[in-house]
Structure 1
Amino acid sequence: MNACGMVDAAAEAYADEAPSAREERLAAAFARGDEAGLAAAYRAWAPLVRALAWRSLGDARDAEDVTQQVFVAAWYGRHGYRPQRGPLAGWLVGITRRKIADALAGRTRRAELTAAAGAAAAVRPCDPAACPEAVLDRLLVRRELVKLPPAQQTVLRLAYYDDLSQTQIAERTGWPLGTVKSHARRGLHRLRENLGTWPED
Structure 2
Amino acid sequence: MLLERAFLDGRPESMRALYDRYAPLVFTIAMRSLASVPDAEDVTQQVFVAAWRGRVGFDPSRAPLQAWLIGITRNAVADAHARRAREGRATDAARTGATDHIEDGSAQVVDQVLVAEAIDELGEPQRAIIRMAFFDELTHVEIADRVGLPLGTVKSHIRRSLGRLRTRLEVADVAS
TM-based fold match above 0.5:
yes
**SS where residue 28 of structure 2 aligns?**
helix
Q: Structure 2 vs 1, CA of residues 26 and 40 (structure 1 numbering), >3 Å: closer, same or farther?
A: same
8 Å CA contact 2:47, 2:72 repeated in 1: yes
Structure 2: gaps spanning 5 or more residues? 100-131, 149-176
Q: Structure 2 vs 1, CA of residues 61 and 171 (structure 1 numbering), >3 Å: closer, same or farther?
A: closer
8 Å CA contact 2:75, 2:141 repeated in 1: no
CA distance in 2, matches of 1:116, 1:93: 34
CA distances 1:10-43 after superposition (whole Å, capped 9, x unpaired): xxxxxxxxxxxxxx11011111211111110000
Q: CA deviation at 1:118?
A: 1.1
Q: CA deviation at 1:105?
A: 0.8
CA distance in 2, matches of 1:40, 1:71: 11
CA distances 1:50-83 after superposition (whole Å, capped 9, x unpaired): 0000000001010000000000001000000011
Of 146, 162, 174, the match for 1:176: 146
Map 1:27-38 → 2, pairs under 5 A: 27-38=4-15
Please list every run of at least 4 consecutive aligned residues from structure 1 whose deviation after the TM superposition is greater than 4 angstroms: none
- The letter of the residue matching 1:111 is G
TM-score, normalisation: structure 1: 0.52
Map 1:131-150 → 2, pairs under 5 A: none
Of 75, 78, 97, the match for 1:120: 97
Structure showing greater relative contact order (alpha-carbon pairs closer than 8 Å, 6 or more residues apart): 2
TM-score, normalisation: structure 2: 0.59
Q: Structure 2 vs 1, CA of residues 74 and 173 (structure 1 numbering), >3 Å: closer, same or farther?
A: farther
